[in-house]
A and B are shown apart, each in its own frame.
Chain A
């Protein structure tokens, strides 16, 4: 007896479904197996295997953001198979496939930034990604941390305060002393604040210590890897200016400026160019460049250069004093004894001699706080972050400097240490 056609169809559909379920089950099991194997291999540091498992896994589940994140990590860490730049590019391709809207979006942007900054040495590209990541995840600690370091390493430590306090806000208590110590180095010795990163990126070898030369090599390398970055060029120019060669600094910027996309949208570029032009007595051009300072027109560098232009170029000491005052309220104004000294000179010219004396005395006090011997002692104190007696010197320093936020943070650290000590008893 021939089966009824409906039965045939039903059986066929059933078979198809069963096969489908079986296939789905098999594929799913295979994918799960690949994922679990990848995770196990990752835990053992077998990155070649991780890559293999995940590449198979992603053929089945190409939209799995977790897998792409892990594969990117594996690609970077797998020493056996790929040259690191190729690995980095492959990893980037995977990370770029992770949409912002996924839970891994912010992490993916941070990882992209890491690759671009630390492996490919593209800080400008990394900076954009980090700022974007910080918008995606306002509570992330990784993005602001890396951005802070990036600012240090691209010669912009003066622009890092806001970023640092974002980092600090999400830093666990047990790590806060270390983070504050890093911040001290970033504040006062930015060129030498990140030797491990310099080693990681190949700008220092072995036990080599950071130097003016290694700083230059880093900045110059960034300039080569990102020839379109106004920041990269400005950082090198600023290095030359700081080392007493503003002519060459200007030559560098003049040569590159026509080729740069929108250099005047970058305040660091504008600030650097203004400083160089003023050093060289090119006052008209300095004013013209300063007029192009992008919005928002605030912050220490803007206020300081506005004051110097009023003081030195326009010879309007009364208005200059107002802007000096405003600049001194913004970090690093309070530590900038040179700007305070300029303010004192303006006050003297205005005949406000007692105020000038007071400002000059304040500047001298800060200058004393910046002396090498003083900082050598402080850095000894930083050598042992559980020695309360030593850390009190750090508090004294910030108190003298009227930096209440750091003072408060270090006081908390000391209080915690003392609490632990009391608790232990």
Chain B
């Protein structure tokens, strides 16, 4: 009954208000900068709120209007022979952060047979030597056609021993056969495709030396010298000897980025002789405090020079450009970092976001490519609308990207037009990172339909059984592996095998496939394609990288809608050349810069 005594003594008794020095943690202070832990607090309390929230619905059926095309993305990984698990070496109670970051996937036609093969990263023992019988290696799956793959990792010698993270596919020596860069926690690796079905580990001879914790990586011609350079996104300085364990609701879990220092990214210049040199500082890719997880390369201002957009975890994102736009700092270096002035470094209210996945596309069909980012649980995901001139505005709320994302912890994100209506939709794979003792943990993946009015709707409940499963999704890479004119997805998870989501969506709508190659045999990143069919105009900027730890099919697949009329296609090559064609729909066209298009396959 102490309360009764205290009661009438107010206010004197409460005047001390507790000692501020003994008050609880600072998170949740108004305006006070917090780390992920504020978001964690939601799960803290959520543990006791389950009953209250039991009635919650994520999106009411029908809220998005009637679906004119029912999406069907079917997991065929088991029958296809690619259902491998990422070995994350999770040791209960250790809470060593690399355990929960997952492994990447990359699409690669390594044998040049026109069928996309699949490279899947794998982990290994994080601490100590491998145990007897350990054989944790990445996998190379050869696409045999007919929805079947064969694991040819050993015979192809496509192996690098390391704790694999991202997977970057690119033909660095322009010999016509794509090579593989393996970003790792530990030393990265470079596998050269010998063109005979085998690979050679050329890490040492190439001079590439990155032992920082790399996440995503991407090949592109950074300096315009007609060969592929390599951007490697490094995450944080997390080692066995500085490992930390954090507490959430009194339970231990994985610490967030606030507990570790950033490490610099790497930019390896291709010297053209099979060796590389780090040009990060020389070329102006210097920026502070990046804790990068994702990277996308594309031309965001139509000057045919690619920008480099890096998603940093709870730190401002980077936008490196060669363009001389308003707000570009004075520098004599090739690139300058302008994300803050461009409005795409942080959320509209200045808050850092987690930026685990990137999906770039012209979502509103205004001719400018926008940037979608997936973030941490409790944060909104972000859609930066491109205003032109390298100016962006956080348009997440109006587009309902925010509304569809708060209860998810997003990773791999893919822009794709699943229903071929000429409006880009979004796939996001989700799953938490705090550890199994925290709720929510596993989450369902999402398919967000673009309603052609600039808003997105979560239609996952109609998209097939995969979308009902609770998963720890990580990387996602898209490709039309069966060449049937729609994009399929490879999605990696923790604790569960890779999913190969074949797009079985039935639609009478049409498509146009484009494979673009330059005389230098490098992807024309920086270029763009304008496709006009039945009065509907779409602008597609060629993108390298994006998603999380992934490499997509580098062909363009354009949804043409109901009408099967020929499409007017204008290709703006990075060289400045412009080619114009009228192409029949429902097939892939191979367009070499300066040459007439050739058909490459037929429609379903």
Q: A189-B26, A209-B24, A338-B349 are in contact. Are A181 and B17 (CB under 8 A)?
A: yes
Q: How far is the CA of A271 from the CA of B382 in the complex (A)?
A: 23
Q: Would A247 and B14 be within 8 Å (CB), given that A332-B31, A335-B31 are in contact?
A: no
**Contacts A341-B348, A375-B32 hold; do A244 and B24 have CB atoms under 8 A apart?**
no
Pair B402/A244 contact, Cβ less than 8 Å: no
Closest partner residue, chain B, to A75 (CB atom): B4
**Residues 177 to 215 of chain A near chain B (Cβ within 8 Å):** 178-179, 181-182, 184-185, 187-197, 200-202, 209-213, 215
Residue B331 interfacial (CB < 8 Å): no
Choose among A196, A210, A372 the residue that contacts B24 (Cβ–Cβ < 8 A).
A210
Whether a CB of chain B sits under 8 angstroms from the CB of A173 is: no
B186-207 interface code vs A (CB 8 A; 1 in, 0 out): 0000000000000000000000
Q: Which residue on B lies nearest to A252, using beta carbons?
A: B52
A353 & B327 in contact (Cβ 8 Å cutoff): yes
A115's nearest neighbour on chain B, judged by CB, is: B7
B380 close to chain A: CB less than 8 A: yes
Q: Are A245 and B407 in contact (CB under 8 A)?
A: yes
B31 & A375 in contact (Cβ 8 Å cutoff): no
B348 touching A244, Cβ below 8 Å: no
Segment from B36-44, B103-111, B114-122 that makes contact with A: B36-44
- Residues in A neighbouring B340, C-beta threshold 8 A: 360
Closest to B401 in A: A281
Prevailing SS type, chain B contact patch: loop
Please measure, in the bound complex, the distance between the C-alpha atom of A336 and the C-alpha atom of B30, giving whole angstroms. Answer: 9
A73 contacts chain B at the CB level, 8 A cutoff? yes
Stretch of B53-61, B80-88, B420-428, B488-496 at the chain-chain interface: B53-61
Residues of B within 8 A of A370 (CB): 29, 31-33
In the complex with contacts A212-B28, A345-B393, A146-B10 CB distance below 8 A: yes
Identify A79's interface contact among B1, B6, B394, B407, CB under 8 A: B1
Q: Judging by beta carbons under 8 Å apart, are B327 and A212 in contact?
A: no
A212 touches B23 (CB 8 A): no
- Docked-complex contact B53 and A248, CB < 8 angstroms: yes
What is the minimal beta-carbon distance from B459 to any residue of chain A, in angstroms? Answer: 16
Cβ 8 A contact of B31, one of A146, A188, A192, A376: A188
Chain B residue with Cβ nearest A216: B45
Docked-complex contact A114 and B7, CB < 8 angstroms: yes
Q: By the criterion CB–CB under 8 Å, are A76 and B4 in contact?
A: yes
B326 within 8 A of A: yes
- Asked if A245 and B403 make an inter-chain contact with CB atoms under 8 angstroms apart, the answer reads no
Residues of A within 8 A of B3 (CB): 84, 118-119, 200-202
> Is B154's CB within 8 Å of the partner chain A?
no
- B331 shortest CB reach to chain A, Å: 16
B128 within 8 A of A: no
B15 and A76 contacting across the interface, CB-CB below 8 Å: no
User: Is B5 part of the binding interface, using a Cβ–Cβ cutoff of 8 Å?
Assistant: yes
Chain A: minimal CB distance from B489 (Å): 26
Q: Are A196 and B45 in contact (CB under 8 A)?
A: no
List B contacts of A382 (CB < 8 A). Answer: 19-21
**In this assembly, does A149 line the interface, its C-beta being within 8 Å of a C-beta of chain B?**
yes
Tell me how far the C-beta of B319 lies from the nearest C-beta in chain A, rounded to whole angstroms: 13
How many positions in chain B have a CB within 8 Å of any CB in the partner chain? 72
Say whether B348 contacts A73, CB under 8 Å: no
B484 contacts the other chain (CB 8 A): no
Do B21 and A379 touch (CB < 8 A)?
yes
Chain A residue, CB-CB nearest to B399: A281
| Interface presence of A337 (CB below 8 A) | yes
Cα(A376)–Cα(B11), bound, Å: 26
Query: In the complex, what residues of A have CB within 8 A of residue B33's CB?
Result: 367, 370-372
Which of B14, B29, B41, B387 is the one whose CB lies under 8 Å from A149? B14
Write out the residue numbers on chain A whose beta carbons fall within 8 Å of the beta carbon of B19: 382-383
Closest to A87 in B: B4
Given A145-B11, A345-B343, answer yes or no on A191-B28 (Cβ-Cβ < 8 Å). yes
A244 to B46, CA, bound (A): 11
A7 CB-CB contact with B under 8 Å: no
B-contact 0/1 string along A347-373, CB 8 Å cutoff:
011010100110010010011001110
A241–B210 Cα distance when bound, in Å, is 42
Report the bound CA distance from A342 to B397 in whole Å: 14
For A232-255 the 0/1 string (1 means CB < 8 A from B) is 000000000011111110010000
Quick one: which of A78, A149, A189, A340 has the most chain B CB within 10 A? A189
**A187, A191, A220: residue with the most chain B Cβ atoms closer than 10 Å:** A191
Q: Tell me whether B26 and A77 are in contact (CB under 8 A).
A: no
Q: Is B48 a contact partner of A278 (Cβ separation < 8 A)?
A: no
Q: A181 touches which one: B13, B20, B44, B379 (CB < 8 A)?
A: B20
With the chains together, A158 CA to B341 CA distance in Å?
30
Cβ A118 vs Cβ B10 within 8 A: yes
Task: List residues 50-76 of chain B with CB under 8 A from any CB of chain A.
Answer: 52-53, 55-58
Would A279 and B343 count as touching, CB distance under 8 A?
no
Sample 30 A-B pairs with CB under 8 A, ordered by A number. A76-B7, A79-B1, A118-B3, A119-B3, A146-B10, A184-B20, A185-B17, A191-B28, A196-B17, A200-B3, A212-B42, A213-B44, A213-B249, A243-B42, A243-B46, A244-B379, A245-B378, A280-B400, A281-B397, A281-B399, A281-B403, A335-B31, A337-B350, A341-B348, A342-B348, A348-B327, A349-B343, A349-B391, A353-B326, A382-B19
User: Can you list the 3 inter-chain pairs with the closest CB atoms, starting with the nearest?
Assistant: A244-B378, A341-B350, A243-B42
Q: Which residues of A contact B (CB under 8 A)?
A: 73, 76-79, 84, 114, 118-119, 141-142, 145-146, 149, 157-158, 175, 178-179, 181-182, 184-185, 187-197, 200-202, 209-213, 215-217, 220, 242-248, 251, 278-281, 283, 312-313, 332, 335-342, 344-345, 348-349, 351, 353, 356-357, 360, 363, 366-367, 370-372, 375-376, 379-380, 382-383
Given contacts A118-B7, A243-B39, 5 further A-B contacts (CB under 8 A): A188-B31, A190-B29, A212-B27, A247-B407, A281-B397
